[in-house]
Structure 1
Amino acid sequence: MVRTRCEAAVVLCAIVTWAGGALAQPAQPPSTQPVVTPSAPFALPALGGTTVAIPWPELAALLERAGDRAAKPPVDFVFAPATYTARPVGSAIEVIAEVQATLLRNDFALLPVAPADVAVESVTVDGQPAALVMQGKTLSAFVTGGGRKSLRVTLTRPIVSQDGSPRFDLPLADWPISNVKFSVPGSVEITASGAASAISAEAGGTTTLTATYRGGAVAAIAWKPRAAQADVAAARIYGDSETRISVRRGLVRYQTAIHLNVERGTIPALKLTLDPKAVVLSVGGKDVAGYQEAAAAAAGKPVTINFARPIGGKQDIELVYEKDVAEAGGAERFVAPAIDGARRDGGVIAIDSDGAYDVRPAPAGGAAEATLERLGVSELPQSFRTPATTLAYRYGSPAATAVALTPIKPQPAKVAVLTQTRVAVDRGVLRCQASVTYEILHAGVDTFRINLPKGAELIAVEGEGVRDTQVVDENGARIVVVGLKDVARKQYALTLTYDVAFAEKAIAVAGQAMVPPAATRPATQPAGDAVAAAATISATVVVPILSHPDASTARGYIGVEVRGGYEVTTSVTGAERIDVKELPRLLWSMARSPVLEGYRYDSGVPAMTLAIARHQDLDVLVAMADVCEASTTVTADGRSVTKLMYIVRNNLKPSMTLRLPAGAEVWSTFVDDKPVTPAKTADGRVLIPLKRSEEVEDGDDESYQFRRDRRRQGEEHRVIKEMQQKRTDDELAGDLKPYDVEVVYVMPAVKLADRGQLELSLPQSDVPVGHLAWAVFLPKQYRVVDAQGNVSEVSRFTLPFRHFGEAALARTKEVAELQKASQQLAQAHDAAKAFAEASKVAGVLPVRVEIPIAGEITRFEKLLLVDEMPKTTVGYSRKLE
């Protein structure tokens, strides 16, 4: 079997080797014959059952040779940029197209020559006549062999007339880039429609166009005689100028907008006369090709603006030029631009000053100055004047004005500072945040220096365009140097955050018997009845207030915020105590807790010392049941089923502990509408796992506040809403989203006599209940005579509860037969009890139990239920038939 596979491989390798050798043959010189026929395909010898043996090194060499093949090129041929040379001959255009093609395969190829509808006279390949093939709508040349090929195509195109001007269309071959060169005797204007670029030049009495087209496009070329020079001379030029002259220290910059209107002809260029000392920086406008400056003369400096084509009609030109002036100031002559040959040449001049000089009119001298008319700055067009404009003129013919420049001694920057400092007393640290607002007059500044008090640790410096911040030591003082990326002017703001740590000292105080914290509260002391020593933590700390060594005036506000259980006594000199309502709103926005004290100072740096005392924290509630709605249904055979719904808000407590009445059996427990598995302690208490409430805003319809307000009615609800509207956003705190904890349990059956007492009770919970509402349903044939217990009987519930009470009873009364419902409940109880005994498994989630509500309702309520089991003893009697 191995030898047979080797034999087949040898034959295969021989075939592949022959084919590879044929491909590796050197390229033959191009044939002079138009058609070349390849040799007959290679025929394998008939080996039959012949066995071929070959040594392994030779077989390996054959395999290597067979795998060493050149990659197949992505295309058969490529083209270099083509050249079309066209010239008019009689009533036609003679065109010669030349292109270089490179064949990437040593095989046959069809090279596109021209569209099929073009009158082609001849086609040569490497100087020899080519064989042509009509392939669809393209005329192609048949070539063979690899390498470079030179194609030359001769064709003619007719000349047609368009609007009295000659024109011809030249369909181009599918060569990627085509350069068309067209020459016409005489001075003419040539246009090339559809060209990517076109340039025409005139030399030796011939005008030549060079245009570039994409492959396959149609070159549409037209020409006409140029306009006579007499048309230029006949053109009428009208100009209106707006010149802004900006005076800076040692420099004057002109910005001129010339609004031209050329009528009765066109102009190829525009000649201007500018200020004799001017240096042109830029010239802009439509069709502006460039400009030339000539040597300045006494009358001014000639400048010629050239256009890419002769222009006519309305045209806008913008010039920017400048000249040097003496830094010491003096009289200066400012010249508006003059348009040579203009029939109207008027305009306005606005002189701006950046504050380096005091600019005033100088005595007029000469005829040019006499033509100027002084304007008020407000008379300038609103779009043309600026806040820096000091002088304005109007002229009806080329004019100049003389002004006197008096240097203004620069004034140093004057900085006024307002510092608003929020001081927050936290555990072991003063957390300070200062908003510093700078009012900057005269010059700008790019650096601010702030004195950082001793012991303060800089946390962050924030501001727009802050480049870097560093703390340096200057004569024993710590200076915060804030560098800016740009110069700040008029107003600037920084925010600095820094801390000051202080040491606290514990002072022992006589202890007292401590009560173990309730499970609802976070334990801060070990449980037990032992006497423990309470402690007061005290400290004295100097409040760090920032100062500004470079400020001309400094004032500020201080707000003291207390976080945690601190008692703060303040001692202040150099500042006035104010009501916290007078503090700026910015200070309130920086505070997390209420601001207890406010101070204001108008100069200097106040000295403020805080005497701090931190007392023992009190335990607070971490879970609360705002409402508990309970329903107990007693059947005719003495069984009772109770369903409780606690509306709980929980921040920390992991579980709710219930002490059920004796003999009670839990059927189901749900938390936030999801089943949970309760646990039972050794002493018989039931633990229901709780989840932490989600945080919501007060206005959220899931918040406790919203649900509470929805239940409230009348005047009380209106007063509360008005009080809420008066509270500011800083005083409002987030709320915890309440959720439901549902518990269903059953009690053993008791015999109901014609008259007697029925003792009913609800579980004792370690989560305080704000409002308990309990509905007790006795069978229809019984009535309640009296009730005694730690809950109060009411005729109607205070709040319209959504789970039980009248709403549930109304739904139940829709049932046709109440007696039938009671029987169904008894049957359900027996079936459920039997099923529970067979199917109860520890750790398995319970199913929801729905309790049919039927019979006579008795209502009980109790406010604020804490560590107490609600109980009532109901006296009943059978109704007379």
Structure 2
Amino acid sequence: MVILALLTAAPPRAKANFQDPPERVVIGLDQFLDMYEKAKAKADQPEAPPRTHALSSAAYEGEVLIQDGEPRFARFNAKLRVEVLLDKGWARIPVLPATVALHAAKVNGKEVAMVIEDGFYTLITEQKGAFDLNLDFGASVSTANGQSSIAFELAGSGATTLRLKVPANEDLDFAVANAHLQSDQVVGNFRQVEATLPSTGTMLVSWQREIPVEAAAAKQQSQVYAEVYTLVGISDGLMRATTTIEHTILFAGKEKLEFKVPKGMTLVDVQGAGLRDWNHKDDGTLEVLLNYAAEGNYTLTMTTERVVSTTGGDLSAPIVQPIGVERAKGWVGVESRGNLEIQGGDVVQATPVDVRSLPAAILGITEQPVLLGYKYLTGEASVPLKIQQHDDVDVLVTLLDETRARTMWTPEGRRLTSVVYQVRNNRKQFLRLSLPDQAELWSASVGGRAVQPASAPDGQILIPLVRSQATGGALAAFEVEVVYVENGTPVPESGKGTFVATLPTPDVPSTYVAWTVYAPGDTKIKRRSYAGNLAHVDYLSNPIPTGTVAYIETVTPEVQQQANVQAGGGGMGEGAVPVPVSLPLQGKEVNFEKLIALGETLEVSFEYKGLKRK
């Protein structure tokens, strides 16, 4: 009250005192009262409803009318519980789709205004609160192939129920789409269905004559059609078949499938969706039990095998026969998994086909070429095969792509030689080398790592190898290097003589050999004195393109890791690690080369003069 009195005593146009604290605002009484009344009016204003109306429930009761012995129309009485949420004004409430024929719309027994908006009969009303809207309308009945149905769109409501009566003297089989609860019963001469429906969507009711129990039982007998795809693979002493059976199951599900497995075949595995168990009986019958009644398409895969003679002979493709099916047809593909020659015999109730026309169920499960193809249309087909075994031919498992040798020759007759082999190895454990007479091995390395060679009883040197890594579908090469020294005859006092030297002889072929001899700088070589099985050249030709061989650098992790593993297991030799030897190269280069060395002794010689010992 004191504050109000002070405000009343203030001048009509009070001005702020600039000496007052800055957080205070001084206004006139009229302005204050105006702001107060506006704030109070806003606080008392009720919140607007989220929508103009709501349908809390909808109950549809209908009866189908028969005309000319056929159901033509259905007349419905619908009771909709409507609640208008507006305090004032008109509300527009869609209640029925315009696809039905509206006879009457009443509230409390009085007709109400209805218009069509956006494809719906729409109630126009200014009545407030909750009330019941009664609708009388008709919907068409469509009949095709012995089945009748009614369908129309529903207005969204909180709860929707349906009761429909169909005049009939026999039992009917009803179906209400998306019904949560459904029941049907006989009421006088009517068959009546009741259902609870979702609040939105389409009401779809269909019915047809109910099939008697005896006829239904006969109809529920399943019919099965089978297509059999068999891939037969024959290797040394074993015939193995992978069979894929695709079933088409109609009318009723099947929980058990049966097959006849060819005599003599051992069943290894059976796979399929929902497979519970399988039993291969003594009479050759295979019984497969499923966890459910399979319908439509069902695929089963089985693997069978049998031991066959390693010398070949006559066989028959193992064709699995489905039991209890309406029709079975199939395809057979035959492949060889070894050095076997397979020929087809005189087939029975089958036809040879181009292997390229075989289904993907056969061609798609093998990387081997399919040699023979057959098609049959009956389960009694027979495909005889003639097998002939051929002996294996030894093939090269290790190859030296290149052999590059460098020899440092001194007037004292000593020769220090380094030989680097580019090796591709698939299976060989050692590279066997026959060193020249009186040669002393100084060092050896594999893949850039020093190794400890071994000595064979026949005097050969054994260099442990690693296995080549596969790169780009081919085996990559790695380096093997040996360094050895020879104490030869010193240069004669006359300075004339003959140089003769040989390279180590490996136990595997080499496609290219290059040898460079570094003679003392003042050596004069007679032009036509070159001899041996390597040709003298001014420059090495290097005929092997670098792009054709996937070389592994000597320090790559793959080769290094494999070498470490072999070294840890003693594969690289026992004892101290050899000392790497670097070759001092100086003097006059004399080049020799050879294409394709097949284990012969590699030798060069030439006559020289003008060389004096120092």
447, 452, 461: which is aligned to 1:672?
Answer: 447
Per-residue CA shift, 1:692-728, capped at 9, x if unaligned?
334x2535xxxxx4xxxxxxxxxxxxxxxxxxxxxxx
Match of 1:698 among 448, 460, 472: 472
Residue of structure 2 equivalent to 1:845: 577
What secondary structure, in the 3-state scheme, does the structure 1 residue paired with 2:280 have? strand
Specify every segment of 5 or more residues in structure 1 that has no aligned partner in the other structure, as ranges.
1-159, 167-187, 190-226, 244-257, 276-283, 300-317, 340-345, 359-406, 505-535, 700-704, 706-735, 803-840
Aligned equivalent of 2:380, options 605, 629, 636? 605
**Structure 2 unmatched runs, 5+:** 1-38, 48-82, 100-119, 138-153, 167-177, 547-572
CA distance in structure 1 between the partners assigned to 2:225 and 2:164 by the alignment = 53
Asked if structure 1 preserves the Cα contact closer than 8 Å seen for 2:265 and 2:304, the reply is yes
Alignment of 1:559-638 (within 5 A): 559-574=333-348, 575-591=350-366, 593-635=368-410, 637-638=412-413
Match of 1:863 in 2: 595
Give the aligned partner of residue 264 of structure 2.
455
**SS of corresponding position for 1:488:** strand
What secondary structure, in the 3-state scheme, does the structure 2 residue paired with 1:587 have?
Answer: helix
Q: Structure 1 residues 758 and 459 mapped into 2: Cα distance closer, same or farther (>3 Å)?
A: same
RMSD of the alignment, in Å? 5.0
Cα distance 1:750–1:468, how it changes in 2: closer, same or farther (>3 A)? same
> 1:239: which partner in 2?
95
What CA distance in whole angstroms lies between the structure 1 residues aligned with 2:129 and 2:574? 104
Q: Which residue of 2 aligns with 1:424?
A: 233
- Residues 670 and 742, structure 1, Cα contact 8 Å, conserved in 2: yes
CA distance in structure 1 between the aligned counterparts of 2:385 and 2:366, rounded to whole angstroms:
18
SS of residue matched to 1:164:
helix
Shift of 1:601: 2.2
Q: Does 1:872 align with 2:588?
A: no
Instruction: Name the counterpart of 2:298.
Output: 492
- 8 Å contact kept, 1:242–1:347: no
CA 1:626 to 1:581, structure 2 compared with 1: closer, same or farther past 3 Å? farther
Whether 1:553 aligns to 2:299 is no
Aligned residues of 1:446 and 1:488 also touching (Cα < 8 A) = no
Contact 1:459 1:497 (C-alpha < 8 Å) held by counterparts: yes
Deviations 1:180-237 (A, max 9, x none): xxxxxxxx99xxxxxxxxxxxxxxxxxxxxxxxxxxxxxxxxxxxxx99994997542
- The question of whether the paired residues in 2 share the 8 Å contact of 1:426 and 1:562 is answered with yes
Q: Offset at 1:432?
A: 0.8
Q: Distance in 1 between the 2:275 and 2:192 partners?
A: 41
Contact residue 540 and residue 593 of structure 2 kept, 8 A = no
Is the CA contact 2:241–2:305 (under 8 Å) kept in the aligned structure 1?
yes
Q: Which of residues 448, 456, 461 is equivalent to 1:686?
A: 461
Partner of 1:746: 485
Percent of pairs identical after alignment?
Answer: 28
Match of 1:778 in 2: 519
Does the CA contact (< 8 Å) of 2:160 and 2:198 recur in 1? no
- What secondary structure, in the 3-state scheme, does the structure 1 residue paired with 2:364 have? helix
Q: Distance in 2 between matches of 1:633 and 1:501?
A: 62
Instruction: Say whether the 8 Å CA contact 1:671–1:739 is kept in structure 2.
Output: yes
Number of residue pairs the alignment of both structures matches = 454
Matched, 1:645 2:386: no
Q: Secondary structure at the match of 1:573?
A: coil
- For 1:678 and 1:259, locate their aligned partners in 2 and report how far apart those are by CA, in whole Å: 101
Q: Deviations over 1:553-583 (max 9, x none)?
A: 3322222222334344442422223343333
1:580-614 deviation line (CA, Å, top 9, x unaligned): 33333442333354333222223333223344444
Shift of 1:544: 1.7
Secondary structure in structure 2 of the residue aligned to 1:845: coil
Q: In 2, Cα distance between the equivalents of 1:472 and 1:356?
A: 45
CA 593–337 in structure 1, closer or farther in 2 if over 3 Å, else same: closer
Question: Which residue of the other structure, out of 254, 278, 283, is the alignment partner of 1:469?
Answer: 278
Change (3 A) 1:842 1:558: closer
Task: Say whether 1:797 aligns with 2:516.
Answer: no
The SS at the match of 2:378 is coil
Are the aligned partners of 2:160 and 2:196 in contact in 1 as well (CA < 8 Å)?
A: no
Give the conservation status (yes or no) of the 8 Å contact 1:420–1:435.
yes
- 1:769 paired with 2:510, answer yes
Partners of 2:184 and 2:191 within 8 A in 1: no
- The letter for the 2-side match of 1:626 is D
Map Cα deviations across residues 737-785 of structure 1 (whole Å, 9 max, x no partner): 4322111112225444655431121101123323323333333433552
Measure, in 1, the Cα distance between the counterparts of 2:541 and 2:261.
64
Counterpart contact for 2:180–2:196, Cα < 8 Å: no
C-alpha deviations, 1:413-471, integer Å up to 9, x for none? 54433222111123433111012223445555444332212222211122233343333
Secondary structure of the 2:321 match is coil
Task: Report the TM-score, using the length of structure 2 for normalisation.
Answer: 0.60
CA distance in 2 between counterparts of 1:849 and 1:801 reads 29
Change (3 A) 1:338 1:539: closer
TM-score (norm. length: structure 1) = 0.44
For residue 790 of structure 1, what is the amino acid of its counterpart? Answer: N
Q: Quick one: structure 1 residues 745 and 630, their matched pair in 2 at CA, closer, same or farther if it must change by over 3 Å? A: same
Amino acid in the other structure paired with 1:571: G
Aligned equivalents of 2:387 and 2:275: distance in 1? 36
Q: Distance in 2 between matches of 1:781 and 1:242?
A: 117
Judged with a 3 Å threshold, the aligned counterparts in structure 2 of structure 1 residues 338 and 876 are, in CA distance, closer, same or farther, namely: closer
1:501 aligns with 307
CA contact (8 A) 2:330 2:375 kept: yes
1:286-365 to structure 2, matched below 5 A, reads 320-324=180-184
Corresponding letter in the other structure for 2:446: V
Q: Is the 8 A contact 1:774 1:861 kept in 2?
A: yes
Query: In 1, are the aligned partners of 2:231 and 2:335 still within 8 Å (CA)?
Result: yes
Corresponding letter in the other structure for 2:447:
D
Partners in 2 of 1:356 and 1:636 — Cα distance? 117
Instruction: Find the residue that maps to 1:669 and give its secondary structure.
Output: strand
In structure 1, the partner of 2:555 is: none
Structure 1 counterpart of 2:112: none
